[in-house]
Amino acid sequence: MQSINPATSEPIQHYDEHTLDAARDIAARARDVADEWRQLGLGERAALLLRLERVLLDHTSDWAYLMAREMGKPIREGRSEVEKCATLCRYYADRGPDFLRAGGVPTEATTSYVAFEPLGVVLAIMPWNFPFWQVFRAAVPALLAGNAVLLKHASNVCGCAAAAEQAFRQAQFPEGLFAALFLNSDGALHLIGDEHVAAVTLTGSTRAGREVAARAGQHLKKTVLELGGSDAYVVLGDADIEAASRSCVQSRLINTGQSCIAAKRFVVVRERLAEFEERVVALMRAARQGDPRMLATEIGPMARTDLRDELHAQVQKSVALGAAVRLGGEVPAGPGAWYPATVLGNVLPGMPAYDEELFGPVAAIIEARDEEHALEIANDSRFGLGAAVFTRDRDRGERIARDRLRAGSCFVNTHVRSDPRLPFGGVRESGYGRELGEFGIREFVNIKTVYVA
């Protein structure tokens, strides 16, 4: 496996791929370690999470630089990502034990209660776009619950996978409890059926989710799938356009637009369309693109040239079908996976910019006749990960977020983001199951009823 610098197209490092037999041996070892790990008290496990927090904070700069080199993440975003992982560790160290303690349920029995028992080994198949956060948000609650975790990371961020394993070792977690596997996609699918793997969590594309769910279903393995998204941000007639446009652009450009939870479709009522579009174009044009290792950089290269080319093909097809390029839309000359901040107007159904997920720095602006039409457009998607609504009437915004928008996370007057304290996940083709919060830590446990007559 070869990691390549997406800013220059230069190779960084080669990693030897595990054979399937080697991966099975690692899974067997993880199962043995998990059997010992689950015997530790919750307090002892939580204490190791606090050590892990310290390790992450001590290596923030190093690992932000690693992400900048391997997948082009602007370094200030990389620092925030590692720090967010540390916050996650602190949160679960403080609150996780309470989420996992047995709770009594009054019945006719002498004693009856619900206990939470770990499942065993969880295979985590993770993407390249948040190469630390996606890993830690899956692994930390699963480990605290008493499981072991095997990481199959994306092949272009093998260095980040190795660094994640190093972090757990430095925090003095038992050796083999968290292990990185350098496997291709076929190898990961075969490993799902291994007798030592109890469950699978995947963050990735809808296509990958179908493949993993089908293989796990054959073996009756529990799964959590966090898949693609085409988040709609609805801008109503009474919205603060300056604040709404800033929030929309901030969300659209997170990680150079390569985020499943980023704003993808801006749905704007007709009366505010012109001023919103003008402001978004100005903000996108002002965003600084450049070397991801520089603190001033807001837009880096995309993670791979093939992904950049796929995005450009979506833009070109949308334009051929009538979308208007308000900004950008051209591939720059030279090496690297660069793509400019791009704004498409006059986006309509049938265009990739309307129907598909645009995984890069491209904003699609869609006109709505009125509020009702805007909500119809927002929900006119096979995805359902996140959504937002902008209005000066907070009560109205809350009603829309709660009752009208069909997505796993619905925000009012700000951009959608994950938070360790809140459950995160989607509906429809954005997947199922939840990560984070109290609900996330209970995904990979046996919720066991104990009844004593």
10 and 103 belong to one structural domain:
yes
Q: Quick check: is 418 in a domain? A: no
- Tens digit of pLDDT for each residue in 396-407? 999 999 999 999
Exactly one of 226, 298, 357, 443 is catalytic; name it.
226
- Tens digit of pLDDT for each residue in 358-394? 999 999 999 999 999 999 999 999 999 999 999 999 9
- Tens digit of pLDDT for each residue in 98-118? 999 999 999 999 999 999 999
Distance from C-alpha of 396 to C-alpha of 94, rounded to nearest angstrom? 35
Mean pLDDT, the chain, rounded, equals 97
26 and 93 belong to one structural domain:
yes
Distance from C-alpha of 89 to C-alpha of 83, rounded to nearest angstrom? 10
270 and 407 belong to one structural domain:
yes
Q: Domain containing 340 — which CATH number?
A: 3.40.309.10
82 and 123 belong to one structural domain:
yes
132 and 6 belong to one structural domain:
yes
Q: Quick check: is 435 in a domain? A: yes
What is the reported pLDDT for 98? 97
Asked if 248 is an active-site residue, the reply is no
Q: Quick check: is 421 in a domain? A: no
What is the reported pLDDT for 156? 96
Distance from C-alpha of 126 to C-alpha of 239, rounded to nearest angstrom? 37
Q: Domain containing 440 — which CATH number?
A: 3.40.605.10
Segment 77-104 mean pLDDT: 97
What is the reported pLDDT for 159? 97
Residue 320, C-beta contacts closer than 8 angstroms, at least 6 positions apart: none
- Tens digit of pLDDT for each residue in 12-47? 999 999 999 999 999 999 999 999 999 999 999 999
252 and 399 belong to one structural domain:
yes
Q: Quick check: is 401 in a domain? A: yes
pLDDT-derived band at 152, boundaries 50, 70, 90: very high
Domain range holding 181?
Answer: 2-227+427-452
Segment 429-442 mean pLDDT: 98
- Tens digit of pLDDT for each residue in 199-242? 999 999 999 999 999 999 999 999 999 999 999 999 999 999 99
Q: Quick check: is 417 in a domain? A: no
56 and 190 belong to one structural domain:
yes
8 Å CB contact between 404 and 414: no
Segment 326-332 mean pLDDT: 97
Asked if 226 is an active-site residue, the reply is yes
Question: Which residues in 65-104 are b (16+ Cβ under 10 Å) and which e?
Answer: bbbbbbbbbbbbbbbebbbbbbebbbbbbebbbebbeeee
- Tens digit of pLDDT for each residue in 133-145? 999 999 999 999 9
Distance from C-alpha of 106 to C-alpha of 229, rounded to nearest angstrom? 42
Distance from C-alpha of 242 to C-alpha of 219, rounded to nearest angstrom? 52
12 and 129 belong to one structural domain:
yes
Exactly one of 260, 277, 367, 443 is catalytic; name it.
260
What is the reported pLDDT for 323? 98
pLDDT-derived band at 176, boundaries 50, 70, 90: very high
67 and 212 belong to one structural domain:
yes
157 and 137 belong to one structural domain:
yes
pLDDT-derived band at 436, boundaries 50, 70, 90: very high
207 and 143 belong to one structural domain:
yes
219 and 88 belong to one structural domain:
yes
Q: Please tell me the total count of domains within the chain.
A: 2
Give all strands (DSSP E) within 185-330, no chain letters. 199-203, 222-226, 231-235, 263-269, 324-327
